[in-house]
Amino acid sequence: MGATKNPGQPPSVIAPGADAVQDSIARSIMVPKKMLEANLRAGSALLNFASQRMQAQAQFLARFLRCDNVEQAATMQKEFFEKMIGDYSGEMNELMQIARENSAFLATGTAEPPTSGKAG
């Protein structure tokens, strides 16, 4: 089995073992690429979360200014903080999922990490 003789085309077989070398190079390139993708997904998730939190804070303050009494203000503040805690918990879960997916990929070096839902 020899190299193909098509000008401008790479040879189909360069040397025995070349496929293994090419596979090794492809895997070594894939790891940094997947790490970058995971970092970008996490960054995107964080920026989306920060945007949502800022919007929720602005909406809360606008409503809070219209409170008629202390009881209403206390209830509104309690509800806001309960929602905020849930939002932060959900965000942490999403970031941990991204980290788990990336870790699974790095551990095996072969599987495509699945994409999580919200980031993007």
Domain count, the chain: 1
What are φ and ψ of residue 110, in 5° steps? Answer: -125, -35
Does residue 118 surpass a pLDDT of 60?
no
Is there a domain that residue 9 lies in? no
Is there a domain that residue 6 lies in? no
Is there a domain that residue 39 lies in? yes
Does residue 1 surpass a pLDDT of 50?
no
Residue type, 12: S
SS3 47: helix
Is there a domain that residue 34 lies in? yes
Is there a domain that residue 86 lies in? yes
Using 50, 70 and 90 to split pLDDT, how confident is the model at 13? Answer: low
pLDDT digits (tens, 9 = 90+) for 30-75: 778 888 888 899 999 999 999 999 999 999 999 999 999 999 999 9
106 contact partners, CB below 8 Å, separation of at least 6 = 31, 34, 35
Instruction: Give this prediction's pTM.
Output: 0.63
